[in-house]
């Protein structure tokens, strides 16, 4: 197991190098120098500031050298400083934003799993029933629904029309004046819409996947063996079929990470949530190159870690892989 883990981690190294390379390349597609842009945005910066910056970022050197400088800094955990007014270290900004996005996505994934697994199991065990057909329709609509539009509709209904939930943000204006319980409730209220909506698309995908995974398992021979023992349908479904059907879901969870992180841009922008997505979006608008590169590298590392974690979980959950 340990060996497996080590080989897998070793396999990630070339990918990580590739990730930094692509991120670097993307940014250097830019026609002008990033410093020009930065000084453009900041009228106070004179030519000497520009020169200092060029030195700091090594922009006067050829591209391969620049890449080397940047990567060796990265390797030491130095992501550089933001181009924006505050000039704060990129890593600090990411450290603030990351937990918010992670928490949001973990919560919505938890909800998705709690809903999608029962839906998928039901549809598969009641194939072609009314409920199954309704699920199929729901899934198709879910796939086609633009998440930001769904968010707008929900805001329109729950916040504007009914006035039950706040439109955006994580805290009310009077948050600090509230009691402890009140504060928790306040944040919870702000989280309901973003959490539910960002899970919506995954919900459709996950229920569909769960359904076909379950259908696949149900027609396996060992399910007939279980029935031939005289087990009731519940036991057959939950003890014999579900366990097997859940295995591919683990992989899907790993694969859905980039989508979730990518989707956080829109969700966090709509609901004004200070997470990675909004941080990235702001860095885009500000052409804050160090931050853009930092977030790109960080998000793809998250993806890699997520896939690795999923593979490990699979290896633990599937006895056929456990002993390797």
Partner 1 sequence: MALLVVRNLRTVFDTSEGPAVAVDSVNFTIDRGETLGIVGESGCGKSVTALSIMRLVQTPPGRIAGGTIEFEGRDVLELSEPDMRALRGNDIAMIFQEPMTSLNPVLTVGYQIAEAVQLHRGVGNNEAWDAAVEMLRLVEIPEPGERAGNFPHQLSGGMRQRVMIAIALSCDPKLLIADEPTTALDVTIEAQILDLLGSLRDRLGMAIMLITHDLGVVAQQAERVAVMYAGRIVEEGKVADVFGDPIHPYTKGLLGSLPRIGGPRRLATIPGIVPRLTELPSGCNFRTRCTELIDDCSGIEPELEDYGSGREAACIVARRTRTRGGA
Partner 2 sequence: MNGWQRALKNRVTVVGGVVVAILFAVAVFAPWLAPFDPSDIDASTILVGPSAEHWLGTDSLGRDVLSRMIFGARVSLLVGFVSVGIACAIGVPLGAVAGYFGGVVDTVVMRFVDLMLCFPSFFLILAVIAVLEQSIWNIMIVIGATSWMGVCRLVRAEFLSLREREFMVAARGLGQSPAKIIFRHGLPNAMAPVFVAFILGVASAILTESGLSFLGIGVPPPDPSWGNILTEGKATIEVAWWMSVYPGMAILVTVLGYNLLGEGLRDTLDPRLRQER
Least distance between partner 2 and beta carbon 237 (Å): 17
304 binds, among partner 1, partner 2, none (CB under 5 to 8 A by kind): partner 2
Smallest separation, CB 47 to partner 2 (Å): 23
Sequence-separated contacts (24+) of 248-253 with Cβ below 8 Å? 248/209, 248/213, 249/113, 249/117, 249/206, 249/209, 249/210, 249/213, 250/310, 250/313, 250/314, 250/317, 251/310, 251/311, 251/314, 252/205, 252/206, 252/209, 253/109, 253/306, 253/310
Query: Contact at 8 Å (CB) between 123 and 176?
Result: no
Instruction: Identify which of residues 276 and 310 has a Cβ nearer to partner 1 in the complex.
Output: 310
Paired residues of 266 in beta bridges:
none
CB of 170 to partner 2, least distance (A): 18
Backbone angles phi and psi of 81, in degrees to 5:
-110, 150
| CB nearer partner 2, residue 67 or residue 148 | 148
- Smallest separation, CB 281 to partner 2 (Å): 7
**What angle, 0 to 180 degrees and rounded to 10, lies between the N-to-C axes of helices 289-317 and 2-27?**
160
Interacting residue ranges for partner 2, rule: CB under 8 A: 14-15, 18-19, 22-23, 26-27, 29-31, 127, 140-141, 143-150, 152-153, 155-156, 160, 212, 215-216, 257-259, 261-263, 265-266, 269-270, 280-281, 283-285, 287, 292, 295-296, 299-300, 303-304
Contact 316, 35 (CB under 8 A): no
Q: Which residues bind partner 1 (CB under 8 A)?
A: 128, 219-222, 224-232, 240, 243-244, 247, 317-320, 323
Whose Cβ is closer to partner 2: residue 63's or residue 153's? Answer: 153
When CB distances are held under 5 to 8 angstroms depending on the partner's kind, the choice from partner 1, partner 2, none that residue 51 binds is none
């Amino acid at each position: 197991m340990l060996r497996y883990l080590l080989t897998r981690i070793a396999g990630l190294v070339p990918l990580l190098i590739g990730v930094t390379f692509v991120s670097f390349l993307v940014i250097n597609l830019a026609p002008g120098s990033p410093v020009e842009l930065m000084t453009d945005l900041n009228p106070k910066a004179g030519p000497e500031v520009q020169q200092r910056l060029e030195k700091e970022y090594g922009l006067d050197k050829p591209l391969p050298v620049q890449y080397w400088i940047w990567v060796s800094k990265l390797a030491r955990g130095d992501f550089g400083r933001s181009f924006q007014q505050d000039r704060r270290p990129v890593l600090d900004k990411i450290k603030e934003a990351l937990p918010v996005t992670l928490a949001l996505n973990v919560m919505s994934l938890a909800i998705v799993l709690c809903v999608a697994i029962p839906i998928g199991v039901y549809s598969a065990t009641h194939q072609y029933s009314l409920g199954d057909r309704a699920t199929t329709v729901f899934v198709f609509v879910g796939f086609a629904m633009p998440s930001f539009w769904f968010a707008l509709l929900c805001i329109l209904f729950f916040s504007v029309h009914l006035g039950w939930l706040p439109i955006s943000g994580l805290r009310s204006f009077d948050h600090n004046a509230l009691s402890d319980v009140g504060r928790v409730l306040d944040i919870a209220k702000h989280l309901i819409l973003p959490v539910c909506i960002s899970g919506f698309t995954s919900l459709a995908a996950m229920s569909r996947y769960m359904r076909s995974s379950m259908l696949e398992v149900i027609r396996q021979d060992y399910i007939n063996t279980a029935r031939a023992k005289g087990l009731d349908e519940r036991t057959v479904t939950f003890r014999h079929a579900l366990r097997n059907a859940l295995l591919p879901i683990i992989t899907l969870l790993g694969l859905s990470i980039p989508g979730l992180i990518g989707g956080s841009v829109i969700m966090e922008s709509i609901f004004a949530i200070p997470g990675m997505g909004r941080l990235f979006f702001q860095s885009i608008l500000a052409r804050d190159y160090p931050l853009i590169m930092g977030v790109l590298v960080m998000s793809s590392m998250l993806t890699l870690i997520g896939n690795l974690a999923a593979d490990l979980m699979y290896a633990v959950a599937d006895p056929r892989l456990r002993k390797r």
